[in-house]
Structure 1
Amino acid sequence: MNDVPVFSFLGKDSKDGILDGSVPINHIVLQSGKYKAINIKLLPRFGQKTLTENDGMNINFNLSDIDNWKETKHSFLPELSSPEAYFDKDNKITSPIKGLPYFEIATEIEIELPFVLDGWQNSINLSEIKQSEIKQRVMEFYIQIHAILKEHNAAKFLELSKEKEDLQTKAFYFNSITKQEIRDSIINLFKKNLEVLPLNDDELKL
């Protein structure tokens, strides 16, 4: 099974802050079935080598209607969390994960979907292709996109993005209104005739 990252919270932002909110996984689950080895990893904050009593995580898996998510939201898997902190014999707060280099949870979810998306299921193993060839093919596509942006040609851009648009429409259950709103926002952005920065091959690397 492919390893697909869902979200991460790393670097200096983790020094004092926290990540709190919802993260969609519709683009990750591409067909019905059991998804094994869902891994959640808690790492030390920026500048720390091990976890402390102040570190922790809670993960919920929820299902909801995109147009009425508050009213329809419900959980389909028990909450996953790191062990709770507690007071030790000296009446000081401590935690079972304190001093660990990381804390990891692995679980399994089963999902039923009304569609099958290709997505990353038949992706190419890029490690088997020469980097020079990959860069050349990527640059050819970048040059095509860059030319469209310089022309401010929204119609061509939407045509080039059709495969992505179809995938998002299915995966996120977009109705015709939402789909048109996204297209209109792209068209309105192109109408601003913003300056496009040069595309220099020498400044790009894999």
Structure 2
Amino acid sequence: MKKTILSLLSIMMLSCQGQTNTAYQMKISEAENIKNNNKNNGAIFSPNDDKNMIEIKQKDYNLYTGSSNCQFEILVDDVPPFVGFWGKATEKGTGFAGAIPINSCLLKSGTHSITVKIYPRYGKSQLEYMSAFYFDAYYRKVHTLDEEFEVQLYRLESPTKSGGATGLQGFPYFEMKSEIVADLPFEIEGWRSSVNLKEEQENGHDLKKELQKTYQNLWDIINKKDTASLLKIISEREDLLAEAFYFTPKEKEEALQDLLSIIKDDTYELAPFSQEAKMYFYGYGKMVTLLDLEREGVIRFVNKKDPKETISLEFRFHRKKTNEELKVI
């Protein structure tokens, strides 16, 4: 079993061996097409209905997703709220279903974009019969599962062909777009005003070399179990997540201890840091990370008794001002 820690506040999702078919970038469905139910490729889109929005001060926004016969990733304002669903887990058509919290991608009130990228399942070059994806956008009162305090906003789903229900069969790639209007009691700076790292890379700066060096420093700190130094490095990210998910000081501390317990656990050993990784830019170029060919974080713990059990840490970086060092965000 493989686990990837996306946010260091113990938000853990399964991450499996991944292989994506990025050679095809065919946009089948754009936002203006999606809004027409069962027209222009048939994707279904319903916008926020303000009449149904109830007065909840601390709103916890989520996407409840479901998939079949495909791999996929979700981007909220060009930031993935979780690792996506990749690899051998999809080889036999297995689907994914679950709620994905997105507050950490929203940062402030207003209109936010949501993009879903759908790829053929592992080992296939095209989407197949009944390849499909949907999500329900909703918010609820924080720290409750009571449906009385839950508001459904809309559903976005991939098209089906009338009669045969063939789904996305024959497409090498499918993309859907929508928007969500968020009402939040906070405004977080995060990476919004940070340097565009993608532009730096395009203008000749060897960002990958800098990123590898930064990751190596993190690896060394974690390998020494220097938790004090690690907490200092990740403090900005921890503060952002605590505010976005309305953590109390006690909850924040408990989540940090969950992370540190992994680093201190002698059941696991830190795998050698791999230099073979690909850069991924997020947040419209203002964040960057390194992921291996399986789309996992390059800092990885391996269970000494069961090497098949691994835990990966993914760190995302930004640069607040030109010429400053990369920092975890």
TM-score range, shorter chain: 0.7 to 0.9
Fraction of identical pairs, as percent:
30
Question: C-alpha distance in 1, partners of 2:174/2:149?
Answer: 28
Shift of 1:205: 5.5
Q: Which residue of 2 aligns with 1:142?
A: 215
Point out the more displaced range, 190-199 or 56-65: 190-199
Equivalent AA in structure 1 for residue 235 of structure 2: K
Q: Is the 8 A contact 2:219 2:273 kept in 1?
A: yes
TM-score, normalised to structure 1, is 0.75
Q: Which residue of 2 aligns with 1:154?
A: 227
Choose between structure 1 and 2: higher helix proportion. 1
Point out the more displaced range, 20-29 or 155-164: 155-164
* Consecutive unaligned residues in structure 1, runs of 5 or more: 88-92
* Consecutive unaligned residues in structure 2, runs of 5 or more: 1-75, 279-329
Point out the more displaced range, 175-184 or 134-143: 134-143
Q: Which residue of 2 aligns with 1:18?
A: 95
Aligned length: 198
Shift of 1:70: 4.3
Cα root mean square deviation, aligned: 3.2
Point out the more displaced range, 4-13 or 168-177: 4-13
Structure showing greater radius of gyration is 1
Q: Which residue of 1 aligns with 2:106?
A: 29
Shift of 1:191: 4.1
Question: C-alpha distance in 2, partners of 1:49/1:187?
Answer: 41
Equivalent AA in structure 1 for residue 104 of structure 2: H
Would the alpha carbon gap of residues 71 and 137 (structure 1) be closer, same or farther in structure 2, given more than 3 Å must change? same
Q: Which residue of 1 aligns with 2:242?
A: 169
TM-score, normalised to structure 2, is 0.51
Q: Match for 2:253 among 180, 191, 202?
A: 180
Choose between structure 1 and 2: higher strand proportion. 2
Would the alpha carbon gap of residues 185 and 44 (structure 1) be closer, same or farther in structure 2, given more than 3 Å must change? closer
Mapping for residues 111-126 of structure 1, pairs under 5 Å = 111-126=182-197
Would the alpha carbon gap of residues 176 and 52 (structure 1) be closer, same or farther in structure 2, given more than 3 Å must change? same
Equivalent AA in structure 2 for residue 118 of structure 1: E
Question: C-alpha distance in 2, partners of 1:104/1:159?
Answer: 39
Question: C-alpha distance in 1, partners of 2:229/2:251?
Answer: 20
Extract structure 1 runs of 4+ deviating beyond 6 A: none
Would the alpha carbon gap of residues 52 and 133 (structure 1) be closer, same or farther in structure 2, given more than 3 Å must change? closer
Deviations 1:167-196 (CA, angstroms, capped at 9, x unpaired): 110111111221121122234344445654
